[in-house]
Amino acid sequence: MALLQISEPGMSPEPHKKNVAIGIDLGTTNSLVATVKSGTATILGNQGHDGLVPSVVYYKDGNILVGEEALKNRVIDPANTILSIKRFMGHNFSDLDKSLASPYKFVNKDGIIEIETSNGVKNPIQISSDILQYLKQIAIENMGESPAGAVITVPAYFNESQRQATKHAAQLAGLNVLRLLNEPTAAAIAYGLDTKNQGTFLVYDLGGGTLDVSILKLHSGVFEVLAVNGDTHLGGDDFDHLLYCYILEKSNLSHLTDEDIAHLLNTAKQVKEDLTLKEKVSFSIVLSAQRLVNLLITREEFGRVTRGLVNKAILPVKKALRDAKLDITEINEVVLVGGSTRMLNIRLELSNMFKRELLTNIDPDKVVAIGAAIQADVLIGNRKDDWLLLDVTPLSLGLETVGSIVEKIIPRNSTIPVTRAQTFTTYKDGQTAMSIHVVQGERELVSDCRSLAKFSLRGIPPMVAGNARIQVVFQIDADGLLSVSAIEESTGIASSIEVQPSFGLTPDEISSMLSSSIDFAQSDILARQLSEAVIDATALINSVESAIVDDRDLITDNELIEIKYLVDSLNIKFVQNEAVEIKTSAIKDLSDKLNKATQGFANKRMDRAIKHGLSGRSIDTL
Amino acid sequence: MIELDLPKIKSLLSTNYFVLFKLDAIFDIDQNILYNKYLNLQKQFHPDNFINTTKELKLLVISLSAHINSGYTTLKNPLSRALLLLELNGIKLNLSRDTALPSSFLLEQMELHEAIDDAKSTKNVFLLENIQLQLKEKEFLLINKINKLFNQGDLLEIKELIKKLTFYDRLNDTILLAFEHI
């Protein structure tokens, strides 16, 4: 090897000591670390190993094992062998699905999930950090030095809390985080260099449990993400399960033990994988009570059985195209990522749809880490031909306003970094504080979105309702991390927060929020109309009541009785349980009546105010 | 790595979008030129260029990069571009209050809404795409008119057309929502 390193004079292979940066794919099942060595991205691995590190940590007697060694303890000591920790990153304790069987002892620490192990209580950030530390160690052993910086990949649909948690884990592992990078974007970078460096890419990432679709445009040295979409409830596991059901039906199986089910599920997975290479697969397995199952499954059968899933798996592609305002013919390359894209029916569907060959020449399990390594190399400043990455935010962000309505501030698929300001006003006379509630999701009502953070703006100078102007600014940085600040414009009083990682949305919630946003759009509109009617009516009552206090003498007793009657009726209406539409129109009707009943009173007040304003001034000053 | 020019960044943060993109403040702008200018600005000021700088400077650069993104979105869209131009000329529109339009136009709007509802309930993608195409054509004609009026300097007449454009804009959102239903 040393002989090959002959260089022209003054052109040593390492002209001057470069900074080495690494890319890390921190996956749910497996993780990888890669770096760029003499211009080529390489996966780093332990001796004789392909680099795929199971994302597993084993805690025992003060020792920490990671990867293959940790995985070996899964059966003998499941409570201390932590798998798939990525699923818990940035989640609240209340997010925990109690119905899910799990060998772990979960602990509720101030609302945050922690796991009790033989090495003490660990939170998901610490556990992920132990995996990252291990990957960093692999990098140091391979490169002979500590990396100067790292790019860590996250799923495109990860929310702020999950991104924050990932960044904290990396910092805890002693890594200098250059950037959090979306996984599909990393894949596009890995391919972008091999291809013609121009055009629009669609990245199709189908993993074990989730589907991620991203559309990117590569144009004169800029990678621009146009849209992301996905399905957090669809992956290779669903295909296994469907095939398993088909096997039960075809062999007429029932009364299965837990072992039988596990055995058959494994077989289904194996058959699915074998069918990517063979036209048909036959197998025979022995179940409990010596039951023998002999079966032949063809590719055509598998295709027929999973037809519905394939259709479902194509839907996010269409949605992403629509969000990106692109036609199918405008996609120049289709990149496949994730082990489940090895299924031939998925490949066939995509190649028929796009009428072109799919890009699969980089191993779908490794392409994300490779892209991350290349981006790390760019960010650390090692490349002359660097490019710029413009990513988007996957979910809409908003604020709670009166009546539990969400005011959307940043719509999904906005290019980041993004700043959006919105001005709000006080709702009561003399109001001095205002609480700001940041939510995430596509629905119109706060209760249907996910709460991200709450903070209050205090010391608003007392003013008449509607006179204070509070500007709230949302900012999402290039990592997809959010900060919110608020300022009262006339006084400059500011309040600011960084959104805390203890709150978060589960991917499941994102998916169900996205789909329910569509199903419920109609009822949202009705609910919104009701909410607005209540807000208007309440504001009216407030102003009438404060006017009565100020100018009681301007109102007749009869007027007062009618006004009180209408105010009481409204207050009763507010809490009455009835159909939304009926309630809305009743409130509007009563508000109109109250408006009319106070018209005379209002006119008299106006006269008095004008007289008061004029009194004591000479004509000259008018 | 680009040197940070602090005064420059601060001044760019407070400039209007036409100045930021070094474009004449006119309605008829070339989308390709706009896009290229956008990319060039981001290449200069995207926070990825300033990985190793102080937190304070980073925050400033994030704001500038966000300002550039927002400028691109505003200038790209004919409606927001027209509103910005009017504002620069001292004309502010209150689109949520001032919605008075000829009844023939409102009638047409209602018909389009009904057609979208029909397409939605019968899950007729073809029909929906057809309405979308119709709308695009109407928008195109309207934008051409607005362009002409901007050239003639007839800003008050533009106000009326912009109100119509706002209606089309909302109709577009309704169509996109309907597509998701189907």
Task: Kindly tell me if the per-residue pLDDT of A531 is higher than 50.
Answer: yes
pLDDT at A48: 63
Residues from B in contact with A at Cβ < 8 Å:
1, 36, 39, 42-43, 46-48, 51, 62-63, 65-67, 69-70, 72-73, 176-177, 179-181
pLDDT at B59: 85
**pLDDT digits 0-9 by tens, A478-487:** 888 887 777 7
* % of residues, chain A, pLDDT over 90: 27
pLDDT (average), residues A250-277: 85
Q: d(Cα A357, Cα A350) in Å, to the nearest integer? A: 9
3-state helix, strand, coil in chain B (%, to 5): 75, 0, 25
Q: d(Cα B46, Cα A548) in Å, to the nearest integer? A: 57
Mean of the per-residue pLDDT values for chain B? 87
Task: Kindly tell me if the per-residue pLDDT of A502 is higher than 70.
Answer: no
Residues of chain A with CATH 2.60.34.10: 393-504
Task: Kindly tell me if the per-residue pLDDT of A309 is higher than 90.
Answer: yes
Mean of the per-residue pLDDT values for chain A? 81
A569 in Cβ contact with A583 (< 8 Å): no
Residues of chain A with CATH 1.20.1270.10: 521-613
pLDDT (average), residues A64-90: 85
pLDDT at A366: 92
pLDDT at A522: 52
**pLDDT digits 0-9 by tens, A353-373:** 999 889 888 898 899 999 999
Task: Kindly tell me if the per-residue pLDDT of A510 is higher than 50.
Answer: no
Q: d(Cα A310, Cα A330) in Å, to the nearest integer? A: 23
**pLDDT digits 0-9 by tens, A550-577:** 888 888 888 888 888 888 888 888 777 7
pLDDT at A524: 61
Closest residue of B to A218, CA-based?
B39
Sign of CA dihedral B167, B169, B173, B179: positive
**How far B152 CA sits from the closest chain A CA (Å)?**
32
A186 in Cβ contact with A372 (< 8 Å): yes
Kindly compute the dihedral angle of the four CA atoms of residues A178, A483, A414, A387, in this order, to the nearest 10 degrees. Answer: -20
Q: Which CATH class is domain A21-235+308-391?
A: alpha beta
pLDDT at B71: 96
Chain A interface disruption, residue of B34, B41, B49, B70, most A CBs within 10 A = B70
Pairwise pLDDT comparison (A47 vs B168), residue with the higher score:
B168
**pLDDT digits 0-9 by tens, B158-172:** 888 888 898 888 888
For residue B48, the chain A residues in CB contact (below 8 A) are: 179, 379, 388-389, 478
pLDDT (average), residues A392-411: 86
**A236-307: what fold?**
Actin; Chain A, domain 4 (3.90.640)
**Six-digit token string for A33:** 């670390």
Task: Kindly tell me if the per-residue pLDDT of A520 is higher than 60.
Answer: no
Task: Kindly tell me if the per-residue pLDDT of B3 is higher than 70.
Answer: no
Size of interface A-B (CB pairs under 8 A): 65
Model pTM score = 0.72
**A521-613: what fold?**
Substrate Binding Domain Of Dnak; Chain:A; Domain 2 (1.20.1270)
Of A318, A317, A326, nearest to A224 by C-alpha is A326
pLDDT (average), residues A520-540: 72
DSSP state of A99: T
Sign of CA dihedral A302, A306, A311, A317: negative
For residue A178, the chain B residues in CB contact (below 8 A) are: 51
Report the catalytic residues of A. 25, 86, 183, 205
Q: d(Cα A389, Cα A216) in Å, to the nearest integer? A: 10
The domain defined by A393-504 carries CATH number 3.40.50.620: no
pLDDT at A616: 43
* % of residues, chain A, pLDDT over 70: 86
Task: Kindly tell me if the per-residue pLDDT of A99 is higher than 90.
Answer: no
Q: Per residue, what are the HEC states of A336-363?
A: EECHHHHCHHHHHHHHHHHCCCCECCCC
Task: Kindly tell me if the per-residue pLDDT of A519 is higher than 50.
Answer: no
Taking each helix axis as running N to C, give the angle between helix B78-88 and helix B155-181, from 0 to 180 degrees, rounded to the nearest 10: 150
Under the banding of pLDDT at 50, 70 and 90, the label for residue A582 is confident
Task: Kindly tell me if the per-residue pLDDT of A26 is higher than 50.
Answer: yes
Chain B interface disruption, residue of A175, A224, A390, A483, most B CBs within 10 A = A390
Residues of chain A with CATH 3.90.640.10: 236-307
Task: Kindly tell me if the per-residue pLDDT of A101 is higher than 80.
Answer: no
**Six-digit token string for B57:** 């400077």
pLDDT (average), residues A592-601: 87
Beta bridge partners of A336: A204
Task: Kindly tell me if the per-residue pLDDT of B2 is higher than 60.
Answer: no
**pLDDT digits 0-9 by tens, B55-112:** 788 888 999 999 999 999 999 999 999 999 999 988 887 766 666 778 888 888 888 8
All residues at 6 or more sequence positions from A309 whose CB lies less than 8 Å from its CB, including other chains: A234, A238, A239, A242
Closest residue of A to B173, CA-based?
A323
Do B177 and A518 lie within an 8 Å CB cutoff? yes
Residue A592: φ, ψ to 5°: -60, -45
For residue B68, the chain A residues in CB contact (below 8 A) are: none
Q: d(Cα A325, Cα A329) in Å, to the nearest integer? A: 12
For residue B70, the chain A residues in CB contact (below 8 A) are: 418-420
Instruction: Name the least confident of A306-320, A434-448, B4-18.
Output: A434-448
pLDDT at A351: 94
Residues of chain A with CATH 3.30.420.40: 21-235+308-391
Q: d(Cα B174, Cα B180) in Å, to the nearest integer? A: 10
Under the banding of pLDDT at 50, 70 and 90, the label for residue A271 is very high
**How far A305 CA sits from the closest chain B CA (Å)?**
24
pLDDT (average), residues A197-213: 86
Q: d(Cα B145, Cα B166) in Å, to the nearest integer? A: 15
Task: Kindly tell me if the per-residue pLDDT of A417 is higher than 90.
Answer: yes
Pairwise pLDDT comparison (A535 vs A179), residue with the higher score:
A179
For residue B72, the chain A residues in CB contact (below 8 A) are: 415
Question: Which residue has tokens 């009561």?
Answer: A428
pLDDT at A395: 84
pLDDT (average), residues A194-205: 79
Question: Which residue has tokens 């208007």?
Answer: A536
pLDDT (average), residues A423-447: 81
Task: Kindly tell me if the per-residue pLDDT of A504 is higher than 60.
Answer: no
Measured between its terminal Cα atoms, the distance across chain A in Å is 95
